[in-house]
A and B are shown apart, each in its own frame.
Chain A
Amino acid sequence: MSLLKVDKLTVETKDQKIVKEISFEVNPGDWLAIVGQSGSGKSMTASAIGQLLKPNLQATGTIELNGNNILAMSSKKMRAIRGKQIAYIFQDYQSSFTPFLTIGKHFDEYQRTHLRVTKAQRIKNTQEALISVGLAEDLASRYPFQLSGGQLQRAAIALALLLKPDLVIADEPTTALDSISSFRILLLLAKLQKETGCAILFITHDLRHASKYADRILVMTEGHIIEQGDQHAILEFPKHSYTQSLVDAIPVLKKHENFQDRRIDNEVNDDQQC
């Protein structure tokens, strides 16, 4: 049985449809990447799954998590699911944490909301979670602004995985980071996914990030899913022309002379155009 089953999901405002009847499934332990340019509706889809849409947006269709329809759920039931079964990692690590609360307070609050454990146990869990993402345990007493971007995003991942959710929705978690940090974050996510066995819904505009660890890739444009399938199938034999253009846009490092050749070619082309 699939963990998450999205069926004919439509997200619309009063005058326009942003996501148009999309359907897909995520299996337990799966890494599904949703790829698309900005405005393609991928983040809307992610928000709809957690019932996080702004009040002016209307979601129709069904989103089933473990067989329960999320869109029909009461807010009380939804609260019990959030954090425990679905967790989010956001793009903007700077504001993912409440500025006047220490990192440790966030972890404490997460556990207090969903678990009944002693304070000593909560502190222990927090330290273990921080260590598991490669952070020092004394970071718990720091404020968010005292951490670097990479550290904050690691802390956010630790927080998301704290209660061992079934599904982690990572909404462009690497976009605001430099390439080395984002590479490390991806590596960390892959490692933690293996350890906890959670499914990851990875939303990105960069096919490079999807190509590394995703099992399956789903390509969205203008609110439609135009192609979905196994990673290799999408990357090597794209059927749709849009996917093809995305694949072509992946920069490939070539040898020095090739680079020279291409530059000369470009110059020749430029001359011809003049």
Chain B
Amino acid sequence: MSVFSINYSKINWKTALLTMLLSLLTLLTAYAFLFLKHDSDFVDLGSRLLPMSLSHPFGTDHLGRDVLTRILLGAQLTVGYAFLALLTAVAIGLPIGLIAGYKGGLLERVLMRIADTFLAFPDTIVAIVLSGLLGPGIENLLLAIIFVKWVSYARLVRSTVVSERQKEYIAMAKINGLSDGKIIRKHLFPHIIGNVLVLASLDMGKIILLISSLSYIGLGAQPPAPEWGAMLNDARPYFQSMPSLMVYPGLAIVTVVLISNVLGDYLRDKFDVKKEVQS
């Protein structure tokens, strides 16, 4: 079979869904850049709670702000911050897990006990406590998320390294005269990065939910920032008169969480060499 012919029966629904959702996101972002005319924080009490129209495709909220504008800018805020938190958590957890798993011994025990200590705090509690100590705000929320999330990466990486380290191909690589650094980079890292990416993409959805839910109870993004969870909170009193105000940010959260979950499944398949060769 040539490289260029496409076997249509093999395109699975996951890839199709992923492509669709990603292109939807791209379109929306492009729209935000090219056509967005409204200011997300511009208060116009004369045009509050308007239904959908050409100039306000999603209508306006209780302060007369354009909902579509706020949703689109909120995407940058919510997804951007979630991504930042995730990146930092991985950047802390991955090297710690690697060192603990590869070196073993006392260092491993110390590092893992520290990780266990962090694991004892549920994320919501840490977020609430940090907000109480440092004041509510998205930065402190991110700090709380990083504080809790790095542990799962450290543990995942460590367990992968420990189970792979036993295998003979690592001994073979050693026998070949490779240095520890090279063994980690060439023979262990691809194993790890696949698992980490899968967990990260699944975590992405959870973190977005966490940011939104904590913003909903007023601990995350502060008004007038167009964060989706905060928008849900703002819309709460108008639920009966204008339910669409809650539907749009809710749908936005659902869509992004769904994308990140499907992306996780997709990456897991991609990094499985066996599946890749067989298909």
Q: Do A and B bind each other?
A: yes
Q: When the two chains form their complex, are residues A96 and B168 in contact, meaning their CB atoms are under 8 A apart?
A: yes
Q: When the two chains form their complex, are residues A88 and B171 in contact, meaning their CB atoms are under 8 A apart?
A: yes
Q: How far is the CA of A146 from the CA of B277 in the complex (A)?
A: 9
Q: How far is the CA of A80 from the CA of B172 in the complex (A)?
A: 14
8 contacts between A and B (CB under 8 A): A50-B175, A52-B174, A83-B176, A88-B175, A99-B273, A110-B176, A143-B273, A143-B277
Q: When the two chains form their complex, are residues B168 and A92 in contact, meaning their CB atoms are under 8 A apart?
A: yes
Q: When the two chains form their complex, are residues A113 and B176 in contact, meaning their CB atoms are under 8 A apart?
A: yes
The yes or no answer to B135 lying at the interface (CB within 8 A) is: no
Complex interface residues of chain B between 146 and 182 (CB less than 8 A to chain A):
167-169, 171-179
Instruction: Return B107 CB to nearest CB of chain A, in Å.
Output: 12
Chain B residues bordering chain A, tally (CB within 8 A) = 21
**Residues of chain A having any CB pair with chain B under 8 Å:** 50, 52, 55, 79-84, 86-88, 90, 92, 95-101, 106, 109-110, 113-114, 143, 145-146, 156, 159
Of the candidates B171, B178, B186, the one whose C-beta lies within 8 Å of that of A79 is: B178
Complex interface residues of chain B between 103 and 139 (CB less than 8 A to chain A):
104-105
Where chain B touches its partner, the secondary structure class is helix
Q: When the two chains form their complex, are residues A114 and B177 in contact, meaning their CB atoms are under 8 A apart?
A: yes
The yes or no answer to B10 lying at the interface (CB within 8 A) is: no
Where chain A touches its partner, the secondary structure class is mixed
Chain A residues in 8 Å Cβ range of B273 = 99-100, 143, 145
The yes or no answer to B187 lying at the interface (CB within 8 A) is: yes
Q: How far is the CA of A114 from the CA of B186 in the complex (A)?
A: 16
**Most interface-central of A52, A88, A98, A114 (chain B CB within 10 A):** A98
Nearest A-chain residue to B169, judged by Cβ: A98
Chain B residues in 8 Å Cβ range of A95 = 167-169
Q: How far is the CA of A169 from the CA of B216 in the complex (A)?
A: 65
Q: How far is the CA of A92 from the CA of B191 in the complex (A)?
A: 20
Nearest B-chain residue to A85, judged by Cβ: B177
Residues 66-92 of chain B: 1 if any A CB is under 8 Å from the residue's CB, otherwise 0? 000000000000000000000000000
Instruction: Return A111 CB to nearest CB of chain B, in Å.
Output: 10
Q: How far is the CA of A82 from the CA of B274 in the complex (A)?
A: 30
Given the known interface contacts A96-B168, A146-B277, the answer about A80 and B177 at a Cβ–Cβ threshold of 8 Å is yes
Q: When the two chains form their complex, are residues A81 and B168 in contact, meaning their CB atoms are under 8 A apart?
A: no
Of the candidates A82, A84, A96, A146, the one whose C-beta lies within 8 Å of that of B169 is: A96
Q: How far is the CA of A98 from the CA of B167 in the complex (A)?
A: 9
Instruction: Return B207 CB to nearest CB of chain A, in Å.
Output: 29
